[in-house]
């Protein structure tokens, strides 16, 4: 693997419960600080708190995170060594990157490496009188707690070290299976989903499966970093902070401060990887080699100036030198591209300010949430 590229498979070393708890504690701390500054004069401190130009979208942010980081439980892990035969619950299995389940007949270098089905939907089917064993519909993973068909292609699921990406919703049934002949119906074509294995590992019955709604890419613009002459600290800082709030990092690269290189990577992440947000770090100042804003504007289909303006205004309260930043924020299709500062400290400060509102903005962009107008 090249030094200038890091594939970050692990979303976070922390559990989803820890991530939600961490977010809640952070937001509650901010609320308390603002609350005391206002002398406790606001009747509803859990809403939006204003003080000295700062704002905390507390309740809204926490609600988005808690709804987004959802968990289910593995009920069965099933394989069949020959196609055309029912899958059997083996209890545990090794998942192989870009292949599928070890010894499963449907594993291979294609887009349907793993099939997933909702246990809750199978239970409804059983209540109709069907004697259906685990794996009877050809599912590899039977999971309680998810309605898989409601998640779009590209959704990321993680269980232990295994990372799965949904590639297909449902399938066309070419022949009536044994289950169909029993009760005149089969739920796999409309309830099942298929995925590819982005990162391998083992999954066991009773393990926890987690869905992460947001996909992110990270670009560090640094001539010295791309040549291996300087350690990149800002890219990993971004990955750690966004990972704590449920973002899956699809790709992280260090690139030289060349406008064309930066532009091409933004286009790749937005058009091919289909990430929801691209964070760049570095290259936003006044140096002749600072080209990140130019590359970002080239990639843009819509301007989103408020994000960069808000980060700049917030940073001005920390250092007046923030006025020298040329950072921009834009959209390319359904991908946000946000320029962050180059130093790890400034990255941390910017993200702590930005992230509480960003999740809601992404959901609006994707058509999954309403606008946030306040009632008179």
For 205, counting Cβ atoms within 10 Å of its Cβ (0-12 exposed, 13-18 middle, 19+ buried), the class is middle
Predicted pLDDT at 6: 40
> pLDDT digits over 333-356, tens only?
999 999 999 999 999 999 999 998
Q: Which of 70-84, 213-227, 270-284, 339-353 has the lowest mean pLDDT?
A: 70-84
- Answer yes or no: is 14 within a domain: no
pLDDT band at 2; cut points 50, 70, 90: very low
> Is the per-residue pLDDT at 74 higher than 70?
yes
Same domain, 226 and 347: yes
One domain for residues 251 and 315: yes
Residue 10 dihedral angles phi and psi, to the nearest 5°: -80, 125
**Residue 86, domain member (yes or no):** yes
Q: What is the mean pLDDT of residues 172-186?
A: 61
Looking at the structure, tell me whether residues 219 and 200 fall in a common domain: no
**Is 343 domain-assigned?**
yes
Are residues 83 and 200 both part of a single domain? yes
CA distance 340 to 344: 10
Do residues 109 and 160 both lie within one domain? yes
| Domains held by the chain: number | 2
- CB of 337 closer than 8 Å to CB of 331: yes
Q: In what helix (H) or strand (E) does residue 94 lie, and over which residues does it extend?
A: strand 92-96
Residues 153 and 179 in one domain: yes
b/e sequence 52-71, b meaning 16+ C-beta within 10 Å: eeebbbbebbbebbeebbbe
Q: What are phi and psi of 84, to 5 degrees?
A: 90, 0
Reduce the DSSP state of residue 196 to 3 states and report it: strand
Which among 120, 162, 143, 140 is positioned nearest to 77, based on CA atoms? 140
In a domain, 294, yes or no: yes
CB atoms within 10 A of CB 31: 18
Of the residues 146, 180, 211, the one at which a domain ends: 211
Q: What is the pLDDT of residue 57?
A: 43
Distance CA 266, CA 353 (A): 23
Measured CA to CA, the distance from residue 348 to residue 117 in angstroms comes to 39
Domain extent for 142? 71-211
Q: Considering the domain boundaries, does residue 20 fall inside one?
A: no
pLDDT of residue 24: 53
pLDDT for res 368 = 75
* Torsion of Cα atoms, 131 then 133 then 138 then 143, to 10°: 110
Residues 337, 222 share a domain: yes
Q: Calculate ∠ Cα 181-185-191, nearest 5°.
A: 135
- Domain harbouring 276, CATH code: 3.40.980.10
Q: Which of 196, 211, 226 is the last residue of a domain?
A: 211
């Amino acid at each position: 693997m090249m030094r200038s590229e890091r594939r970050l498979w692990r979303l976070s070393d922390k559990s989803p419960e820890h991530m939600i708890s961490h977010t809640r504690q952070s937001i509650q701390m901010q609320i308390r600080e603002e609350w005391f500054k206002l002398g406790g004069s606001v009747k509803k401190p859990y809403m939006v708190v204003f003080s000295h130009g700062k704002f905390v979208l507390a309740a809204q942010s926490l609600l988005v995170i808690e709804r987004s980081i959802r968990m289910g439980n593995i009920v069965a892990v099933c394989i069949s060594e020959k196609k055309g035969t029912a899958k059997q619950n083996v209890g545990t299995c090794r998942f192989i990157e870009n292949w599928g389940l070890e010894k499963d007949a449907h594993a291979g270098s294609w887009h349907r490496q793993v099939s997933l089905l909702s246990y809750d939907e199978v239970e409804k089917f059983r209540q109709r009188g069907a004697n259906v064993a685990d794996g009877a519909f050809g599912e590899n993973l039977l999971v309680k707690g998810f309605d898989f068909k409601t998640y779009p292609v590209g959704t990321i699921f993680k269980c232990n070290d295994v990372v799965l990406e949904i590639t297909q919703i449902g399938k066309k049934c070419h022949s009536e299976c044994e289950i169909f002949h029993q009760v005149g119906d089969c739920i796999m074509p409309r309830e099942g989903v298929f995925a590819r294995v982005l990162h391998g590992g083992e999954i066991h019955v009773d393990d926890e499966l987690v869905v992460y709604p947001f996909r992110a890419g990270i670009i560090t613009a640094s001539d010295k970093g791309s040549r291996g002459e300087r350690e990149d600290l800002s890219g990993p800082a971004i990955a750690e902070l966004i990972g704590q709030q449920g973002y899956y990092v699809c790709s992280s690269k260090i690139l030289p401060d060349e406008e064309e290189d930066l532009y091409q990577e933004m286009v790749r992440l937005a058009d091919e990887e289909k990430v929801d947000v691209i964070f760049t770090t570095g290259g936003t100042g006044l140096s002749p080699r600072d080209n990140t804003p130019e590359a970002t504007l080239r990639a843009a289909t819509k301007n989103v100036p408020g994000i960069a303006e808000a980060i700049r205004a917030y940073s001005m309260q920390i250092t007046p030198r923030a006025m020298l930043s040329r950072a921009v924020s834009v959209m390319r299709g359904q991908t946000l591209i946000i320029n962050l500062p180059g130093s790890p400290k400034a990255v941390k400060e910017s993200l702590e300010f930005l992230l509480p509102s960003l999740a809601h903005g992404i959901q609006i962009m994707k058509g999954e949430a309403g606008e946030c107008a306040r009632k008179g």
